[in-house]
Each structure stands twice: as structure tokens, then as C-alpha cells.
Amino acid sequence: MCLIMKSGIIRLSALLIALPLFYYSCTIIDNNVVETGYGLKVQNGMVVSAYPDASIIGVKILQNGGNAVDATAAIHFALAVCNPAAGNLGGGGLLVVRESDGNIAALDYREKAPLVAARDMYLDDKGEVIPGLSTSTHLASGVPGTVAGIAEVHNKYGNLSFKEVIQPGIDLARQGFIVSDKLARSLNKMKDRFIERNSHITAFVKDESWVEGDTIRQPELAETLELIRDYGMDGFYRGRTADLIIKEMERVNGIITHGDLENYKAVWRDPITGSYKGYRIISMPPPSSGGVAIIQLLGMIENYPVSEWGFHSDKSIHLMTEAERRVYADRAEYLGDPDFVKIPVEELMGIDYLAGRMSDFNPDQSGDSRDISAGSIPGYESEETTHFSVVDGDGMAVSVTTTLNGAYGNGIVVEGAGFLLNNEMDDFSVKPGYPNIYGLIGGEANSIQPDKRMLSSMTPTIIEENGELFMIVGSPGGSTIITSVFQTILNVIEFNMDMQTAVSAGRFHHQWLPDQISVESDVFDTLLVQKLEKMGHTIAKRPSIGRVDAIRVLSDGSYEGGADPRGDDTAAGY
Ligand code: GLY
């Protein structure tokens, strides 16, 4: 440790927590200085992720000659070790990359329904949803896409060898990592579930409770990562790891087969692009609803004076809520896997369509979700998932969101392979009109079909200003991902916040149904709640919303981090 510099704490009534303005520390690793902290500003390269070890691993890759995609691969594998609630090998993800020359691409490595999956597989004889089947059992897992996704993006863009980018994750699994207080509490809460759902003792369970400072070692996960290091995708989708996944499936009611694993492929898709007040927004297309929704939200509010109305004023909250109500209604009706359903993407994002959707906006009165259905086009956890943002010295940027769906997925660890399985099948509409774990309602576009990808809310996003890289942003949080990203963007562009303040600021959320504004505790004061209730809104307090990890490029070309203080999220750079 070479230096700790602490300077200033501010408390704003509308902010969720006491916000450290600056809190830097720097560590010398292999003769290189890695800076970490809130409000971090660096010149050469930055990573903001959900756990300090993963952020530091990413920066070390950058310092050793890797580019942003090499760092992305290394962070992804590291998070599979030190962020077991959401980092994963047994899940999937979505990412957007912008090369230093401005070329953009989006990679879809979302999980898929197994080939024998069926539309009504979670319903009983009477057509009723069987509680827990799509969330808490082997049957809840989609075919994992993460390893295919990392291999694909690294193969296309990486500079370093695959072995170099995966080795830090292997070392972290084998040598262990230090457990934070938040992680210790989370694992202790999950203990009974891990014991109940697994026939073996997992690395996440020990006799005593976990406490901050403990070390978790994961030798079985290290072995799986070594197979991936030595055989690439075949180290996961074929051979020993695949056999262990199938054996785990056969233990109870799983349906993933060797054929499902062997056939899995990540897919390059055209990113969603749109504009907001001169900024270019680049985000994820379907099977995520995130990109379409963020363009819709920004488009619906663009012509209103939100900066004049002010951050968390009753007027701006009301406007943003009414836009969210309409956008989530569209999500439920139109969005799904583009390989299976025709999605009117351009129409949904069209200026006229968005203006029409807001034509019945009443500045003094809340809408009623019973009156709002999807727009007419001519012709949905615990809310886990994790996001990280990366930028290298050349300005190559990667925005990545990856998930097991619920915290620790379905809680089932593949015996002998050491990784958790996802419960992503619940992101399908298991029955039209039936809410998933996020309370999201879905329709036919997101019904279950063999080999289909379930609709996501993940919103990995990159923003340009005047053709140059400006921001990398995203969040976990199920249905609240989209609104967390929306608010963070507005906090910077409309309310002039620096990146850290924008990320730390309190959040609220509306998703059409249920018809309520969810708000982090104490973020709205009594007077504000009264004003919103007078307009007709229902206010529901809840625990934290989203964990945004973002990077902004400053006018001098340096990078400013925003690490979400709601978690162990850490900005690291050099
Ligand atoms: N599993 C959360 C999402 O993809 O939206």
C-alpha cells in the first residue's frame, strides 16, 4: 500500500448514503501502481466491477499489454470466482464493445431454452404455475452461454493469449480470496438453501458462519477453469465439465443434454443506437429489452425541461415515471428473442411513435396502468446479475452485464465442477400475464420454445459525445436495470453530476405493473412523497435499487469512475 488519500464527505438529502467525494488508495502489484477508490480519476485505463479482486485483475491485464477485451475476459473469469451471487460460468451475458476507431458491436451469449423445453413446462394439469419450478430447481436452468461468450469476444478482439487472461481467475479460485462483510452476510443467508439443494458440500458452506476476512478457496472451480484454459470452449461444453453438468441434471429434474451444450453458440448482433440531446446511445438489442427501452425512455422525455425542473423534483420524477409506465407495457407485449419473433424495433424507437405514446401525459396527474396497454404499431429476484465497465489506454471500451438471474442462480452447484447453475428460464413468460421473480409480466413474444433465448433487461451501454467515447454504463437489478441506467445517464447529462455522484445518487423505479413507484428508503422526503401521492402515485419503499458501475471520459481524455457504494463495487485504474 503506498498511499491513502481521503478528502471530504458530503451528505445530500436526496442521496442514499454518505458519499465519499474522493477515497483513493494505491497498491503496488508486480512493480505497477494500481489505484482504487470512489471518485477515482486516472489517465491510462480503468475497470469498475462488483468486487475489488476482479477490478484489480482487469487493470493488471491492461498494464501487461492487454486491451479492454483482454481485461474483460480476465474480469469475467475472476467474477465467476469472487462474486458467486452473479459472476458465473453457469449463466450468460450480453456485452457492447466500442473499438478506439468507433466501430461498435454487440455480443449475445444469453442462455437458451434446452431443446426439450416446452411452452407449458412450468404449469400443472390445470394450467396453473407450479411455484418454484422455474426458479429453484434443476429445471430452472437455461443452457449456459458465458464461456462461449468470453471465448468469442476474446477470439475476435483480444491481444493476449487466452491462457494469460484466464490464469488470474484460476489462481484466485485455487489460492482463495478474502471475503467482504457483505459477501459473508449474503453467504450466511444462503446457507440453508445451499444445503437443501445440493447433495454435496459446496465451497460456499462451512460449519461456522462466514465473517469478513475469511478466505474462500474453490479447488473444483479451479479445475474447471483449467480445463477451459487448456481446451477452450471444449473444456466446458464437452468432456469432463459437460459430463458433470449432465450428471447434475440427471440427479433431479434437469433437462439440459450433451446436445444442448455442444450446440451452444454466442451470436454477434447489431447494437441498438439512438440519440439524446446530441449524445449517441449505443446499447444491447433483443433478446434484451434494455437497449430499446433506454432509447424509448430518453426519447419520451427529451423535449421536457428536466434539468430546469431539477434532480428528484416532483415534476421530473412524475415525467420519468410516466415514460417508464409506457415503456414497460411495450416491453411486455413486443419483446422477445429476435430469432423467434418479429420485433418492431425501429418502430418502437421512432420519434413519432414515442411522441404519440406521451400524447396523453398529464403533468399534474399520474396515469393508471390499467388504462395503459402496449402502443399500437402500424403493420421482467432477489435482483442479482452483475455489470462491469472497462476502458483501455487507446479508448477501447467494453460494457458487460452477466447473470445467473436470481442471486446464486438456482443455488445448485455442479458437483465436481464447482460452479453455480442459472435459473434464467424464469425470465421467459412461463404463463402469459403471470409475473416472474421481478414482477414483470410477459406475453407470447417471450413464451418458452426449444432453443429460444429468454427476454432480458440487461442494458450494457456506451455513450458517445461528438463522435468520441463519453460513458460506459450498466447495472444489475432485474427489471430495475433499465431504470437504474436511465437515471444514471440523466444524472450526468441533465443534472451535471460527476460520475461517482451520479452512481451513488438515490434511485426510484416504475415498471407499469405493479402500478407503484418503488424508491430506495429515505431517498424521497415526506414533502416529495406527499406531492407525488397527490398526483395519484403510490410510493413503495424498498431496499437498494441497482448497482451501477460506470466510467466517464473527461474533457482532458482522463477517465472518471463511478463504483456503486451499495455493494463491494470498486473502481481501479492506472
Ligand atoms: N436475469 C435478469 C435479466 O436478464 O434481465
- On whether the CB atoms of residues 6 and 20 are closer than 8 A, the answer is yes
Q: Is 307 exposed, middle or buried (0-12, 13-18, 19+ CB in 10 A)?
A: middle
User: What is the reported pLDDT for 10?
Assistant: 36
The position carrying cell 447434475 is: 248
Are residues 264 and 325 located together in one domain of the fold?
no
Gap from CA of 42 to ligand 1 centroid (Å) = 31
In terms of domains, do 190 and 238 share one? yes
Ligand 1, atom nearest to 457 Cα: 5
Ligand 1 centroid to Cα of residue 307, in Å, is 31
Q: Specify the pTM.
A: 0.95
Tell me how far apart the 2 most distant CA atoms of the chain are, in Å: 66
Query: Which residues does ligand 1 sit against, CB inside 6 Å?
Result: 385, 403, 405, 424, 427, 456-458, 478
What's the grid cell of residue 508?
Answer: 426510484
Asked if residue 44 is part of any domain, the answer here is: no
Top mutation candidate among 108, 405, 454, 480 for ligand 1, by most atoms within 8 Å of CB: 405
Query: How many angstroms does the Cα of residue 424 sit away from the middle of ligand 1?
Result: 7
Is residue 74 located within the same domain as residue 151?
yes
Q: Which residues make Cβ contacts (< 8 Å) with residue 506, sequence separation at least 6?
A: 14, 15, 16, 312, 519, 520, 522, 523, 524
Q: Judge if 255 and 291 occupy the same domain.
A: no
**Residues in the chain where the model's pLDDT stays below 70:** 1-23, 377-383
Q: Give nearest CA residue, ligand 1 atom 1.
A: 405
Ligand 1 atom nearest to CA at 438: 2
With respect to residue 569, please indicate whether it lies within any of the assigned structural domains. no
**What is d(CA 439, CA 119) in angstroms, rounded to the nearest whole number?**
19
Please choose from 88, 386, 404, 427 the residue to mutate so as to test ligand 1's pocket, defined by most ligand atoms within 8 A of CB: 427
What is the per-residue pLDDT across 135-179, written as a single tens digit (0 to 9) for each? 999 999 999 999 999 999 999 999 999 999 999 999 999 999 999
Question: Is 489 within a domain?
Answer: yes
CA distance 464 to 470: 5
Q: Could you give the angle at the alpha carbon of 461 between the alpha carbons of 52 and 492, nearest 5°?
A: 85
The CA distance from 26 to 1, in Å, is 6
Of 400, 424, 511, the residue with max ligand 1 atoms within 8 A of its CB, to mutate for a pocket test, comes to 424
- The cell 476502458 sits on which residue? 391
Could you tell me if 276 and 239 lie in one domain?
no
The residues, ordered by sequence, that sit 6+ positions from 336 with a Cβ below 8 Å of its Cβ are: 286, 287, 343, 445, 446, 447, 452, 455
**How far does the centroid of ligand 1 lie from the alpha carbon of residue 311, in Å?**
28
Edge-first strand listing for the sheet containing 559-562: 41-42, 559-562, 550-553, 468-473, 461-465, 279-283, 272-276
28 domain-assigned:
no
In sequence order, the 6+-apart residues with CB closer than 8 A to the CB of 368 are: 515, 536
Quick one: 414 and 530 in the same domain? no
Co-location of 169 and 305 in the same domain = no
Q: Quick one: pLDDT at residue 383? A: 67
Residue-number span of the structural domain to which 249 is assigned: 70-268+406-424
DSSP states along 261-277: HHH---EEEPPEEEEET
> Catalytic residue among 241, 385, 386, 570, which?
385
Task: List the CATH number of the domain containing 310.
Answer: 1.10.246.130
- Residues 259 and 284 grouped into a single domain: no
Whether residue 385 lies in the annotated active site? yes
Cβ(269)–Cβ(296) below 8 Å:
no
Q: Which residues contact 495 (CB under 8 A, 6 or more apart)?
A: 307, 310, 311, 502
Distance 512 CA to ligand 1 centre (A): 17
Same domain, 417 and 364: no
CA 5 to chain centre: 31
Residues 239 and 302 in one domain: no
Task: Select from 95, 160, 443 the least CA-distant residue to 291.
Answer: 95
* Tally of domains within the chain: 2
| 133 occurs within a structural domain | yes
Q: Whose CA is nearest to atom 4 of ligand 1?
A: 456
